[in-house]
Structure 1
Amino acid sequence: MQDATTVLVADDDEDIAGLMRDYLEAGGYRVSVAHDGLTALDAVGPHLSCVLLDVDMPGLTGFEVLRRIRETSDVPVLLLTALGEDRDKLRGLGLGADDYIVKSASPAEVVARVHAVLRRSRRSATDDPGEELLDYGRLVIDVHAHEVRIDGAAQPFTAREFELLEHLARHPRRIITREQLFDRFWGEYGDRHTLTVHISRVREKIEEDPARPRHIVTVRGVGYRFEGERVTATARGDDG
């Protein structure tokens, strides 16, 4: 049972919100419901473990709510979308959504997707961060500060983009399959296209030419390999 876990369902369609609430409560979650963007934003706080967020709501759209949430919080957000609305999905992922759920999803899938994103979130929080500075010259990943710098300038990264880049950069020259990445960051359920979108967005932020990536290289038919030569602590002058 997930007694201490609270999920916010934000959807202006009361029937859909009620259905999502019933699914999740049957799965053992506590559920809060909001029917407009402002109410949803007011309901976001440290007690929440996950947000199901409709993209079309009065007051503030789901996209605006998501943008404001990401200014202060890394709480997992799953977008509620209509079937086939790919533009909404891509925009939401770009703003920092963890994934999306089609409103026609079965009760079992809704509960499974929420459970998967929470499991991943808890695992990330307890993982040993290891080295705190991954220095690849013009690309520096400061794990402690949760910051990516390109040529010394900090770049905006969502929590999921940062985790994906960090994981790849910790394993240079190692091929990591798409299935391994998807299982680690999204779990069993979800659209595999989500990984492709995240890889593309990370490349746009770190590569000099995203069409010809030098750091995140595609291994055709398999997955991805991170390329780059680490700058040692001695080379940085950190040896005291």
Structure 2
Amino acid sequence: MSFRNILIVDDHIEIIQLMTDFLEMENYNVYSAKNAKEAESLLSQVKLDCVILDIMMPGIDGFALCKRIRKESEVPIIFLSAYQTDADKIRGLTLGADDYIVKTASPSEIVARVKALERRIGMYLRKAKESQRVLSVDQLELNQDSRSVKAANKEVELTTIEFDLLQYFMENEGNVLTYEQIIERIWNDEVTGFHSVRVHVANLREKLAPFSSVPEIKTVRSVGYQLLKRARG
């Protein structure tokens, strides 16, 4: 996961401007809000990757806003506050914040903490994906553990052979797989003929046909098949 859009929520304009300058130097898109109402409006309109949140604000304070955000979203939250006591830090983290930074920190340190959180979450997501053994190409996703397939976030029911075929194609995206290779991998024998392969591939294509955002299974004449991402017009 890479952070792209960051929201700063603080009623001090000078802090927003200073942090915006430093974050934009690192190529982040920065949004700002002076209170909870503006922040919640942006959260509903923009896909935000991180929220930097002050605590002392007029009306709804940062603690209450954090609690409200957590009811709807898992967006990473970093408290940036003048409160320095351990009790405040513990409260912030208990409410669901991912980090707590005191405002005496330099802008460079704050940016470094944002990047550290970005790396940490990215590493967690990669490990979670690896542990689930998920293959994905465009909007086609295959979970090897649950033996389930989603196309454009919709479940696709496949037979055992169709699933194994699709997994083999996705593991070798872009590579031409010969009839012989497919038979050896899927059927593990020399009895199955090319016609049987064609029938199962045709059935698999038919089930994926309604989804224009998934890769295509191309026929390589007299050789086999190739899974290719669709050209974007």
TM-score (norm. length: structure 2): 0.52
Aligned-pair CA distance for 1:128? 3.5
Aligned-pair CA distance for 1:61? 0.8
**What is residue 170 of structure 2 aligned with on the other side?**
none
Q: How does 1:133-144 map to 2 (within 5 A)?
A: none
**What is residue 34 of structure 1 aligned with on the other side?**
33
Query: What secondary structure does 1:127 align onto?
Result: helix
**What is residue 225 of structure 1 aligned with on the other side?**
none
Contact 1:37 1:65 in 2 (8 A): yes
* Count, aligned residues: 131
Aligned equivalents of 1:99, 1:5: Cα separation in 2? 18
Q: How does 1:1-240 map to 2 (within 5 A)?
A: 5-45=4-44, 47-82=47-82, 84-128=84-128, 130=131
Aligned equivalents of 1:125, 1:17: Cα separation in 2? 29
Q: Which amino acid aligns with 1:127?
A: K
Aligned-pair CA distance for 1:107? 2.2
Aligned equivalents of 1:47, 1:28: Cα separation in 2? 16
Contact 1:76 1:98 in 2 (8 A): yes
Task: From the CA coordinates, give the structure whose radius of gyration is larger.
Answer: 2
Aligned-pair CA distance for 1:54? 0.2
Aligned equivalents of 1:39, 1:58: Cα separation in 2? 12
Aligned equivalents of 1:41, 1:56: Cα separation in 2? 17
How big is each residue's C-alpha offset from its partner over 1:194-215, in whole Å with a ceiling of 9 and x where there is no partner?
A: xxxxxxxxxxxxxxxxxxxxxx
Q: What's the C-alpha RMSD, in Å, of the aligned pairs?
A: 2.3
Aligned equivalents of 1:128, 1:26: Cα separation in 2? 31
Aligned-pair CA distance for 1:76? 0.7
Aligned equivalents of 1:120, 1:49: Cα separation in 2? 13
How big is each residue's C-alpha offset from its partner over 1:114-170, in whole Å with a ceiling of 9 and x where there is no partner?
A: 111112122222223648xxxxxxxxxxxx9xxxxxxxxxxxxxxxxxxxxxxxxxx
Aligned equivalents of 1:101, 1:113: Cα separation in 2? 9
Aligned equivalents of 2:85, 2:13: Cα separation in 1? 21
Q: Which amino acid aligns with 1:118?
A: E
Aligned equivalents of 2:42, 2:87: Cα separation in 1? 27
Query: What secondary structure does 1:47 align onto?
Result: coil
Q: Which amino acid aligns with 1:48?
A: L
Q: Which runs of 5+ in 2 are unaligned?
A: 133-145, 147-233
Aligned equivalents of 1:28, 1:107: Cα separation in 2? 15
Aligned equivalents of 1:61, 1:84: Cα separation in 2? 16
**What is residue 179 of structure 1 aligned with on the other side?**
none
Aligned equivalents of 1:97, 1:65: Cα separation in 2? 11
Aligned-pair CA distance for 1:83? 5.6
Q: Which amino acid aligns with 2:96?
A: G
TM-score (norm. length: structure 1): 0.50
Aligned equivalents of 1:53, 1:116: Cα separation in 2? 17
- Identical pairs, percent: 44
Q: Which runs of 5+ in 1 are unaligned?
A: 132-143, 145-240
Aligned equivalents of 2:128, 2:93: Cα separation in 1? 26
